[in-house]
Structure 1
Amino acid sequence: MSSPLKKSAEKVQNILRDFGHELQVIELQDSTRTSDEAARTIGCSVSQIAKSLIFKGKASQQPVLVIASGTNRVNEKTIKAYLGEKLEKADADFVLEHTGYVIGGIPPVGHHSLIKTFIDEDLLQYEEIWAAAGTPNAVFKLTPQILIEIVDGTVVPIT
């Protein structure tokens, strides 16, 4: 590595190291804030981007993480069936408070709060996927099986 990682990306790298897998956070020159930007910058398909989306339970006001394939839109009614409550959109302050990260760089791990997590079953078809690593320019490559292990999430159809 030519330069040290930014603080948020370094935090994610340290958390990933604790899982015992060889997962390497990289910071890129171009933005990876959106799935399209990330895929273009990395050189993979948009579907291989594991985007971390934070919602809020309407009744509980608790955070809910949906890790979706980059091309998929989350069907909130589908998630409601698994969660038992409606979802609301979470604003930037809520996301930062519960994850410790800004929108556009939310990793699937290392959040401030324990977050109920759902993983898009469409991600399982790929040998490798890419996830955000704490900043809008940091990512890491992993397998869907490792993702399931490190986030302790429930695999569901999200569309």
Structure 2
Amino acid sequence: MPHSVDRVRQALLSAGHPDTITEFAEGTHTVAEAAASVGCTEAEIAKSIIFRSGETPVLVVASGVNRIDRAKVGTALGRKIERADPAWVEQVTGFAVGGVAPVGHLAPALILIDEDLMVLDPIWAAAGSPTHAFRTSPVELVRVTGGTVAHVKA
């Protein structure tokens, strides 16, 4: 099992969340692949997108059907938000793009949770690799990440 998946599992268990990580041989790299593998709608995929504010990682966990408005993210945080290249994402989170989980990051991040996720239950999030995901609820996602619910969709 990849080390990054172990980090996610440990973060979940440390937060009192059950180990709901499942491996999907078909892959969960994209929202469409994840929804097909898990057997849910694309909206129920909680995708993790990393931006940066200077050297600080900014994690936005959004419904799989939503595009993120970077300006709204910046307004919600009161910071300038920039795109992050894949190498930087992997360096600061410990996850490759396509497997970025909402928990278990190497460096602490500022975290926003898309308000549209709050009406969906269950939701599925990446668990550290492009073939692993975990099942959770929006309330649990906010609790285990310490994130702030915000309007971030374009």
TM-score between the two structures when normalised by the length of structure 1: 0.92
What runs of 5+ residues in structure 2 fail to find an aligned partner?
none
What is the aligned partner in structure 2 of residue 45 from structure 1? 41
Aligned residues: 153
Distance 1:10 1:119 in 2: 23
Greater radius of gyration (CA): 1
Quick one: distance in 2 between partners of 1:41 and 1:54? 23
Q: What's 2:72 paired with?
A: 78
Aligned to 2:55: 61
Structure 1 residues 105-159: Cα deviation after superposition (integer angstroms, max 9, x where no partner): 0110111111000000000001210000000000000000100000001100111
Tell me the percent identity: 40
1:31 equivalent in alignment to 2:27:
yes
Deviation at 1:6, TM superposition (A): 2.8
Q: Distance in 2 between matches of 1:56 and 1:133?
A: 21
Within a 5 Å distance, the mapping from 1:13-24 to structure 2 comes to 13-24=9-20
Distance (Å, rounded) in 1 between the aligned partners of 2:63 and 2:22: 20
State the match for 1:146 in structure 2: 140
Moved over 3 A (4+): none
Task: Give the TM-score normalised by the residue count of structure 2.
Answer: 0.95
Q: Specify the alignment match of 1:118 in structure 2.
A: 112
Q: Structure 1 regions of 5+ residues with no counterpart?
A: none
